[in-house]
Structure 1
Amino acid sequence: MTRSTRFFEIIQMLRRASAPMTAAQMAETLEVTKRTIYRDIASLQASGLPIDGEAGVGYILRAGYDLPPIMLDEEEREAIVVGLALLGRTGDQALEKAAVRASAKIADAAAATPGLPETFRVSEWNQIPAGALSPADARRYIREETELQITYRDEAGRCTDRCIHPIALIYYIDVVVLVAWCVLRDGLRHFRLDRVQAVKPTYGAFHTSGEALRRIWQSEDPSP
């Protein structure tokens, strides 16, 4: 999460809070340290944001401050909220937490209570097994274009060491698949995350080529 994104999240939490929020509460939600929250609050206060409070007591956002509303019609809101709820099927806990935050923002904009409308129910059931590479880490490596060294177990149980350039994730109901350029095979391959036995970033030469590899992948398999 970038610093500017944290600032926005902190503002949103303080806007929704009915009582002072402590740095510990915000740090747990954003998965950062309390020291990071203290620095962020100080920066926001220095920029003129009306935040009152202090370390150990809690913080509030003074009345009168607001953000521009999100203009969504009813069906647009329902589509987004149902889609966010479906993330529970992916087994990606980081995305699920992000979905909760996003749902709260949509609810704020619509002046409604967070969560699904009463007319909807979305099952969060999944049977996706875990591997050495989590979906959250895989997404981060894709964003950062980080080369990886992995140990991969195939369907027959054979293990091989691979150097890969991750470019995309495919979420199925029972498995998450990583699309990557495999240096060993000199081509694009699909790797089930639950079969990744070990992973280590190598930070090799991969930057700026992710988008080109994604275009190749889409041209070869436009409907994965």
Structure 2
Amino acid sequence: MRRADRLFDIIQILRSSRRPLTAAALAAELEVTVRTVYRDVATLQARRVPIEGAAGIGYVLRRGFDLPPLMFTTDEVDAVAVGARLVRRLRDAKLRKAADSVLSKVMAVLPEALRTSIEQPAFYVSDGDAVTPTGVDLAGVRGAIRASRKMRITYVDDQGRRTDRTIWPIAMAYYVDVTLIGAWCELRSDYRHFRVDRIATSSVLDEAFPADNGRLMAEWLALRKDRPGVPL
């Protein structure tokens, strides 16, 4: 780990901690020696980072201190670059545009030494084999989830059978090359998962469904654990 990244991590660890942390605890978290932590803390204090405490007692970061926005480590830059490219596999035009916008904003504030990690990344992310959905607007689905609004869809199962359904969209589930909508299905009176590439037509209704303070989401998450073979 670069020393600059380690100094950043020390600030982040202290900022998120609710109690003083000893040099030994910091060393274990960062996988370095206690002596290295002592030197790094002294360097940060010399740079006017308000770390209070001493060796053998523990360190705290004075409340109210924050770092300038968009201070990234090299691993974080790689995570942003990989994540933005993985979004392209989702076949969601608005998400892809948003991911490209994120990369542009990150590029604008990164130091030159880190900018090449995004301009010329040392990795490759394939475009995947997912089919672009034509019967549903994925941005509209996300909006319906946020607004707790029902949807009307025509769904085609793996046998080619078509059914008209009213669903309560709860979540999007992204797999390697398949995107699912997790929903409560009024036709089946149960939770179901709908592949977006099998939705022939769809519309967001004006009628809302009760979100119940996250109860539906909690039940859906439990369903994924208890019934992993739930029909698509």
**TM-score for the superposition, normalised by structure 1:** 0.63
What's 1:118 paired with? 121
User: Would the aligned equivalents of 1:177 and 1:190 in 2 still touch at CA under 8 Å?
Assistant: yes
Deviation string, structure 1 residues 73-93 (Cα, Å, up to 9, x no partner): 111111122111111111111
Question: What letter matches 1:202 in structure 2?
Answer: L
Structure 2: distance between partners of 1:78 and 1:174: 22
Name structure 2 gaps, 5 residues minimum. Answer: 1-67
What's 2:72 paired with? 72
Structure 2: distance between partners of 1:218 and 1:208: 14
Are residue 179 (structure 1) and residue 182 (structure 2) matched? Answer: yes
Inter-CA distance 119–85: structure 2 relative to 1 (3 Å threshold): same
- SS at structure 2 position matched to 1:200: strand
Aligned positions of 1:199-214 closer than 5 A: 199-209=202-212, 211-214=214-217
- The structure whose Rg is larger is 2
- SS at structure 1 position matched to 2:71: coil
Superposition deviation, residue 116 in structure 1: 4.5
Structure 2: distance between partners of 1:199 and 1:210: 26
Deviation string, structure 1 residues 168-196 (Cα, Å, up to 9, x no partner): 11223332111110011111100111211
Superposition deviation, residue 125 in structure 1: 3.2
Question: What letter matches 2:130 in structure 1?
Answer: Q
User: Would the aligned equivalents of 2:148 and 2:168 in 1 still touch at CA under 8 Å?
Assistant: yes
Question: What letter matches 2:135 in structure 1?
Answer: A
Structure 2: distance between partners of 1:200 and 1:83: 29
What's 2:158 paired with? 155
Superposition deviation, residue 216 in structure 1: 0.2
C-alpha RMSD of the superposition: 2.2
Deviation string, structure 1 residues 131-174 (Cα, Å, up to 9, x no partner): 31132221121112110111111121111111100011122333
Structure 2: distance between partners of 1:134 and 1:100: 19
Aligned positions of 1:1-224 closer than 5 A: 68-112=68-112, 113=115, 115-209=118-212, 211-222=214-225
Superposition deviation, residue 209 in structure 1: 3.5
**TM-score for the superposition, normalised by structure 2:** 0.61
Structure 1: distance between partners of 2:105 and 2:169: 31
Structure 1: distance between partners of 2:140 and 2:187: 22
Structure 1: distance between partners of 2:162 and 2:82: 39
Deviation string, structure 1 residues 5-29 (Cα, Å, up to 9, x no partner): xxxxxxxxxxxxxxxxxxxxxxxxx
Structure 2: distance between partners of 1:154 and 1:212: 28
What's 2:11 paired with? none
Question: What letter matches 1:130 in structure 2?
Answer: P
User: Would the aligned equivalents of 2:128 and 2:177 in 1 still touch at CA under 8 Å?
Assistant: no
Inter-CA distance 210–160: structure 2 relative to 1 (3 Å threshold): farther
Q: Matched residues, percent identical?
A: 35
User: Would the aligned equivalents of 1:69 and 1:109 in 2 still touch at CA under 8 Å?
Assistant: no
Q: Which of structure 1's runs of 4+ aligned residues deviate more than 6 A?
A: none
